[in-house]
A and B are shown apart, each in its own frame.
Chain A
Amino acid sequence: MASREIVRYKSPARTMFSALVILFLIVFFVWTVLPLAIMLISSFKDLLDAFKLPAEGDWGGIGVMFDFEPTGAHYVELFTEKNFGEYMRNSLIASLGSAVVSVFLGSMAAYALSRAEFRGKRDLLFWIISTRMAPVVAVMVPLYVIFRSSGLVGTLPGLILAYTTFNLPFAIWILKGFFDNVPYAIEEAALCDGANRWQALRMIMPLVAPGVGAFIVLCVLFGWNDFLFASIIGSGGAKTLPVATAELVQPVKIQWGSIMAAGVITTVPMMFLGLLIRRYLVTGLTMGAVRE
Chain B
Amino acid sequence: MTITESERGIQDPSEYRGVRRIDHAPQIFNNQPARYYLMWLLLPAIILLAGISLYPFVWLIYMSLHEVQLAPGKSDLWAGFDNFSRLFSDKNFARGWLTLFKYSALCLSVEISLGVLVAVILNNSRLEKLFITIFLMPMMMAPVVAGFLYMFLYNGTFGWYFWLLRSLGVLDGGSILGNKFWAMFGVVATDVWQWTPLIALITLAGLKRVPQEQVEANMVDGAGPVRNFFSVALPNLYPFLLIAILLRFMDNFRFIDTILIMTGGGPANATKILPTYLFDVSFKFFELGRGAAIAFTLLLLTILLGLVLTKIFEDPTRKIKSNGGG
Contact = CB atoms under 8 A, between A and B. Distances in A.
A141 B243 contact: no
A108 B158 contact: no
B186 interface: no
Nearest to A34: B160
Nearest to B242: A289
Contacts of A227: 142-144, 257
B13 to A, nearest CB: 9
Q: How large is the interface on B (under 10, 10 to 19, 20 to 34, 35 or more residues)?
A: 35 or more
A286 B247 contact: yes
B316 interface: no
B127 interface: yes
Nearest to B211: A1
Nearest to B195: A285
Interface in B166-207: 166-167, 193, 197-198, 201-202, 204-206
B302 A278 contact: no
B241 to A, nearest CB: 10
Given A6-B124, A116-B29, A135 B254 contact: yes
A5 B124 contact: yes
Interface stretch (B74-82, B83-91, B101-109, B130-138): B130-138
Contacts of A188: 26, 28
Interface in A122-166: 124-126, 128-131, 133-143, 145-146, 161, 164-165
A4 B121 contact: no
Contact of A207 (B16, B158, B201): B16
Contacts of A141: 63, 282-283, 288, 291-292
A290 B212 contact: no
B201 A281 contact: yes
B198 A178 contact: no
Q: How large is the interface on A (under 10, 10 to 19, 20 to 34, 35 or more residues)?
A: 35 or more
A115 B118 contact: no
A108 B145 contact: no
Interface in A97-115: 105-106, 108-109, 111-113, 115
A58 B158 CA distance: 14
A32 B306 contact: no
A133 B295 contact: no
Contacts of A213: none
Contacts of B206: 290
Contacts of B282: 137, 140-141
A62 to B, nearest CB: 9
Given A65-B160, A115-B38, A177-B326, A105 B302 contact: no
B141 A290 contact: no
Contacts of B127: 25
Nearest to B226: A17
Interface of B: 8, 10, 16-22, 24-26, 28-30, 34-35, 37-39, 41-42, 44-46, 48-49, 51-53, 55-57, 59-60, 63, 114, 117-118, 121-122, 124, 127, 131-145, 148-150, 152-153, 157-160, 163, 166-167, 193, 197-198, 201-202, 204-206, 208, 212-213, 215-216, 225, 240, 243-244, 247, 250, 253-257, 261, 275, 278-279, 282-283, 288, 291-292, 295-296, 298-299, 302-303, 305-307, 309-310, 312-313, 320-322, 325-326
5 contacts: A106-B45, A116-B35, A117-B30, A267-B137, A270-B141
